[in-house]
Amino acid sequence: GLNRKRSKYAARLCLWLLSASPSPPPSCLRVLPSPHPPRLASGAAPFCFVPAARGQGRAPVAAASRPEGLRPVPPSEEPVLVLGRQAGREAAGGQAHSCAARAWPGPRKCPARRGPGVERLEGLPGHWRPKGSSPPATLNAARIPACGKPQQLNRVVGGEDSTDNEWPWVVSIQKNGTHQCAGSLLTSRWVITAAHCFKDNLNKPSLFSVLLGAWQLGNPGSRSQKVGVAWVQPHPMYSWKEGARADIALVRLEHSIQFSERVLPICLPDASIHLPPNTHCWISGWGSIQDGVPLPHPQTLQKLKVPIIDSEVCSRLYWRGAGHEAITEDMLCAGYLEGERDACLGDSGGPLMCQVDGAWLLAGIISWGEGCAERNRPGVYISLSAHRSWVEKIVQGVQLRGRAQGSGALGHRARALGGSS
């Protein structure tokens, strides 16, 4: 979808963009080739930027996977790669300017007679592509599946092992190849987990990798995917102390993963979601089955059904031991006051998942607790509702679900996972 037009200013390339929903058909951009391409990034072609509205800052616009075509780029993505194809030749990397940018003599659209026109991209509401062009491989392969809806619907009643593909958003965050924490997939490039998983290693992302689509860590299988970590973004309010508020971090993957029945995103709860006490949710992870006892080979992903505990009750329980307010406003508690069943070491960062209207929501992130499955010491989770706006500012394209009250009747049971982390 490129049309070449020359003027006294420079060679101009009219570029139709894929745009995220909700949106009108995309506008034309002109690309001004630059004699000094921007820096390279981890094996990628030159990055290009577009001036933001009213000339304030720079904002990404579009990217292309050579030679398949364009794909939408969220504002959270760093630079923008502009690699168009015209008559077998690629456009040079450079600065991309909107038609209304001051560098050009006023707003102008690509001439309709020369423009390719656009059509909706099937299967991706709100996305567009040039008429007659092939869908970008990055979109054609992913199809951006609905969040929170695994294709495997079986449940093991009374068991502790999950079934294969049951929780396709649960990932293993590994340090030097060894499982460190769990996490949850939000989009094709972002994972969410607990910030404390990266204590003392925040500036060493190369030590970490993320394993997706693995039911058993000891036998991940050929359909699993392992991706390096580009960087980690902890919440700015996190203080790196055990039991601290805002124990949440976003993990940027080195490249996009491929969605499949084994690898799917989970939903975030929207503002309408409320989970009252005794709502039954689920936790999942590869952590220890009890203090000092690691999950045995083949390290099958564990699951446990847990009820939400009233926040005032939980606050009183932990106040007695700590002598100060231990449960902050961004925390929620879940589990059993009698102990015996809980999350444990290695489960940190994993999801507290609640099913609402047929979709699984990430209600919380496993953060901390005293011991493993101790009496009157339920697991403590960081509430996603409390930090949803922060996540949305960084991660473009995360899917929200809501409109219904949480329900305790979620339909399946399990035994112990092992204690709190």
| 249: three-class secondary structure by DSSP | strand
Residue in 162, 188, 284, 348 annotated catalytic: 348
Q: How far apart are CA 295 and CA 285, in angstroms?
A: 10
Parallel, antiparallel or unpaired: strands 280-285 and 2-6: unpaired
Q: Is 196 a catalytic residue?
A: yes
Contact 138, 65 (CB under 8 A): yes
Given the residues 127, 179, 196, 280, the one annotated as active site: 196
Residue 241 is given by DSSP the state: S
CB half-sphere exposure, 356, CA atoms < 13 A = 23
Pair 332, 405: CB distance under 8 Å: no
Write 234-240 long-range contacts (CB < 8 A, 24+).
Answer: 234/195, 234/198, 234/202, 235/195, 235/387, 235/390, 238/195, 240/195, 240/196, 240/199
Alpha helices in 96-185 (DSSP H): 137-142
176, two tokens: 């030097």
Please name the residue ranges forming H helices in 110-190: 137-142
Annotated active-site residue in 97, 127, 247, 367: 247
Residues 376/337, Cβ–Cβ less than 8 Å: yes
Q: Can 357 be counted among the known catalytic residues?
A: no
Q: Is 97 a known active-site residue?
A: no
DSSP state of 218: T
Question: Catalytic amino acids?
Answer: 196, 247, 348
